[in-house]
Chains A and B, each alone.
Chain A
Amino acid sequence: MKRIILLMTMLILTAFVSGQTKEPSALEILKKSDAVINAPKDQDIKMKLVLIEGNGDEKERELRMLQKGGEKRIIKFLSPADQRGIAFLDLPNDMMYLYLPAFKKVRRIAGHIKNQKFAGTDMTYDDMGTLNYAAEYDPKFIEKSEKVFVLELTPKNGLQKDYSKLVMWIRADNFYQIKIEYYDKSGKLVKRMERKKIEKVGNYWIAKEFEIYDLLDDHRTRALLSDVKFDTGLKDKIFTQRYLKR
């Protein structure tokens, strides 16, 4: 009998403590979400970019992206023919290099390129950068449900960003970012990104497809990922000018 009373007491206490568990803050959710996106130690991904104009005309780009951690990235264009062989190396501290095969030369690229569109897509070089929103934005809840968290992100004080705010949808089950809306300085919605076909490859979640819609230009970019490989042990020496030229 004593055992039953003890067990019941423990169950009541457990239920009480559970009820008192602190709910995660918006910042904790954002950090967790960043961690999910940036979890792989390295990535080797082929990407097909379909550029879609307002009238439905489409163009395609194919590239291979190698990334180590969140700060080293090399992108090589596979098509179209006039861009094949062009390669882009992104290193920490805004050290960026572009290899143009026609000139047999690696060219240093300065930070001004970050606000430019990447290869005619609707992503800027900045958008292509490390997805560490918690370090750059202050989040607050707009909505919470069992399935999704909706956060409003505003740039941290003193940080120059192109957007006045972002609205981000995060899946509650795996903390994967599924949709982001970008608002310009006047508060107008200018861009929208949606991630689809979210799958688990090995230990990591990844969206095999995402689409970015530029509302101002009525232009969208659909990205289709294939040959996704994680944690293959990419060496640091791959992310150098030596390999950029190969």
Chain B
Amino acid sequence: MRNKLFFLMVLFIIIPSAIWAQVGLKGYILTDTRVFLEDQRFYWNENRLDLQIDASLSESAHIYSELWVRGFGFSDVKTSADLMARQKDKVQPWNMVLREAYLDLYGFLLPDLDIRIGRQRIAWGTADKLNPTDNLNPYDLEDIWDFGRHLGSNAIKASYYLGDYTLTGVYIPVFIPAVLPTQDWAQALSPELALPPGFTQNNLEDQIQTPENTLKNFTAAFKIAKNFFGYDFSMSYLYGWDDLPIVTNVGLTPVNLTGAVDIATTLAYKRMQVFGLDMAGSLGKIGVWAEGAIFFPEKTEMTTDLSAFGYGIQTSLALDDEPYMKYVIGMDYSFKNGIYLNCQYLHGFIHERGRENLEDYFMFGAEKKLLNDKLKITSIAGGLEIKDFSEIKDNYAILYGPEITYYPVDNAEIIIGGHIIEGKSTTVFGRVKKNDEVYVKVRYSF
């Protein structure tokens, strides 16, 4: 951490004052506290300083960087040494994340060619936060309610504007895995390992195998976009990596005679190709969008080592190479009385893989601003998850998330809200139905 601070200080010193004169500094301070209703336990405690540096160095060059400095988590003091540590990490955990840092060159080599080099977020897709075609940056699922959040990737992006067409090419040399949800929400995306009857889990260890940082393990993507008859269309292709790991090996070791076993798993990241298509436009005054992606996964087998039980090593199919399609359709509308309505239907959630495993989700939200925009009430917001339409009563989950936002002064907002979850444990949200929560967030932008 000290090295990072030293690096920052050096950076501030070496950047010439002439550049500082053109630099825009902005950001926000966020306090985010969440508590589970069932056990009244605080599970989220975040104080974030977001710093964004933005500078137009000339007509054709621009730099941007975003840094998060966060006090995140709770005291984790185990020994007196933890209390005496100079870094205070155990008393007040904190971290620093460089979200983005890139250089834009406009009209690079050709007048209609723009390139962006560096750590960057490349957001593809027309849907709202849930984008099947948005596969360039790894997911940042740390906050499960922030579906659209991704990490930045070190990349080169080139955009060429050819008449009405926009052609985009992206090259990402090095793989970065997705960040998974915190422990309290992990179960939503990773169901418990199913053990044979009579076995119980004792210890669980896992090992992650990431692709080597070599030239061959790159990601590349291409997109072409154009407006036809008032509708915006784009078509994309990606040759990259699935940023969520898949189990490739499970080993079971007996601990005692009661059936308790130690489990050792190996997870790996696999290649995938994705063809994407999206559109956005309006039907009358209603906003409409649709987005779909066909995934071509790499065939992945899973070995289960049961040799300790005399059954040897068994092999099964973890993920077939059969293509599968995820898609979203959505609409939004603002009524004259100020109510804004947004609805989306999603087939295939972020973590779902394989044609048979894709579920259906209906997400909706209605909000209204009052008191000359000082108050925003999101009274109807949430979703409905259906795992199996033929047996809905055992395969559904309902999510309700009302929220009130108060803007006391310019740049400040106070948000109070909650999530109520009901459903069956076969579903994503049903598995975390005990996690009903309320939260308070305060944010000030500068």
Contacts and interface: CB of A to CB of B under 8 A. Distances in A.
Contact of A94 (B104, B280, B282): B282
B216 interface: no
Interface in B140-169: 148, 159, 161, 166
A80 B410 contact: yes
Interface residues of A, number: 35
Interface string B280-304: 1110111111000000000000000
A155 B104 CA distance: 48
A115 B445 CA distance: 28
B26 interface: yes
A81 B446 contact: yes
Nearest to A240: B161
Given A104-B123, A115-B334, A120-B372, A110 B446 contact: no
A105 B133 CA distance: 14
B62 interface: yes
B410 A110 contact: no
Residue in B148, B372, B413 whose Cβ sees the most chain A Cβ within 10 Å = B372
18 contacts: A51-B372, A53-B372, A81-B445, A85-B54, A95-B230, A108-B126, A108-B289, A109-B287, A111-B285, A112-B282, A112-B332, A112-B333, A113-B334, A117-B373, A120-B373, A242-B159, A242-B166, A246-B106
Residue in B161, B282, B289 whose Cβ sees the most chain A Cβ within 10 Å = B282
A103 to B, nearest CB: 6
Nearest to B227: A95
B353 to A, nearest CB: 25
A242 B106 CA distance: 10
A101 B54 CA distance: 12
A94 B446 CA distance: 33
Interface of B: 26, 28, 54, 62, 104, 106, 114, 121-123, 126, 148, 159, 161, 166, 227, 230, 232, 280-282, 284-289, 332-336, 338, 372-373, 410-411, 413, 445-446
Contacts of B373: 117, 120
Nearest to B122: A104
Contacts of B338: 116
Interface of A: 51, 53, 59-60, 80-82, 84-85, 93-95, 103-105, 107-117, 120, 162, 217, 219, 237, 240-242, 246
B445 A80 contact: yes
B281 A112 contact: no
A109 B331 CA distance: 11
A107 B330 CA distance: 13
